[in-house]
Amino acid sequence: MSTTTTGITVDELVDQACDRNTPIELHYEPKNGPMIVGRARLLNCNDNQLLADRPLCLDGTIPSGVNLSIHLSMHGERYAFDSMIEDSCRMIQLNAHHKVHGIALKKPVVFSKSQRRQHLRISLVGYDPVHVELVRPHAEIPTACPMDAMIYSGWMVDLSVGGMSLLMDQHIIRHVKENELFFVDFGLPGCDDKFCLLGSVRHSRVIESSESIRVAICFQGWNRQQLIQDQRRLSRFVASHERRMLRRRK
């Protein structure tokens, strides 16, 4: 029987994840362009496949038959496994009276803890405070914000091409859910234009002896071409920062 790298068997983890209809992220890296991230929810499984609802992808589509990684959170841990979409138009029986259109994913042989960081992360210590504004997307139009949307403010702690972490006052925002989406608006020293990216909350934690929470966000982009341009600008900023740090060390 296959086991995960954390001791629990693959079948046990799959069964628990499906029983709880656990949210998953599908990460697909095309040869050209940024990673495409899809969000879905596990519905059921059989001997060879995981069944999920159709993934929502805001910056592209994930084709069938290509290698991708699946990420999910269980028992306070984040897990990952390799898979592919084997059927992009599967009718899934939810109960005796209700079926939904979904997808069939290749069932994993092994899970592992997801700790991989794909991009160099830099600290913003030494810069003037970088102000960040977060706004939740419209409930029915995920690529837009409501006209009367609440704007939450925070201060950037670190940054990479793929995401950032920031500090926020608990009096401003008390509850941030894992995988919750926000539009993230900020400027960087030396960059003329501001950034506006769609981000997914990876995790958050309360800072001890403080009234702040630290929130980690992964950039997804609400427009694929814009995401490519923004990631290039972020990459230049990160590279410039590293050159400056290397000069200081000499």
Residue where a domain terminates, one of 83, 113, 143: 113
Q: Give me the DSSP letters along 153-208.
A: EEEEEEE-SSEEEEEEETTT-----TT-EEEEEE--TT-SS-EEEEEEEEEEEEPT
Q: Is residue 5 part of a domain?
A: no
Domain tally, the chain = 2
Is the per-residue pLDDT at 200 higher than 80? yes
Q: How confident is the model at residue 35 (pLDDT cuts 50, 70, 90)?
A: low
151 in the same domain as 97: no
Tokens of 153: 């403010």
Specify whether the CB–CB gap between 164 and 217 falls below 8 A: yes
Q: Is residue 134 part of a domain?
A: yes
Is the per-residue pLDDT at 229 higher than 70? yes
Which pLDDT value is given to residue 90?
A: 92
Is the per-residue pLDDT at 39 higher than 60? yes
* Structural domain of 64: 10-113
Q: Which residue has the higher pLDDT, 102 or 94?
A: 102
91 in the same domain as 126: no
Is the per-residue pLDDT at 4 higher than 60? no
Q: How confident is the model at residue 32 (pLDDT cuts 50, 70, 90)?
A: low
229 in the same domain as 130: yes
pLDDT-above-90 percentage for the chain: 25
56 in the same domain as 97: yes
245 in the same domain as 146: yes
Give the number of residues written for the chain: 250
59 in the same domain as 133: no
Q: Is residue 231 part of a domain?
A: yes
60 in the same domain as 26: yes
Angle (CA) 83-49-12 rounded to 5° is 90
Place of tokens 């008390």: 174
44 in the same domain as 135: no
Residue where a domain terminates, one of 113, 131, 146: 113
Q: Is residue 237 part of a domain?
A: yes
Q: Cα–chain-centroid distance for residue 238?
A: 20
pTM of this prediction exceeds 0.85? no
**CATH of residue 75:** 2.30.110.10
95 in the same domain as 43: yes
Residue partners of 131: CB distance under 8 A and separation at least 6: 153, 154, 155, 156, 186, 187
**CATH of residue 237:** 2.40.10.220
94 in the same domain as 30: yes
60 in the same domain as 109: yes
Q: Is residue 244 part of a domain?
A: yes
pLDDT tens per residue, range 155-190: 998 898 889 989 998 877 777 888 889 999 999 998
Q: Is residue 4 part of a domain?
A: no
pLDDT tens per residue, range 44-91: 999 899 999 988 875 567 889 998 888 887 777 778 888 999 999 999
Residue where a domain terminates, one of 56, 87, 113: 113
34 in the same domain as 152: no
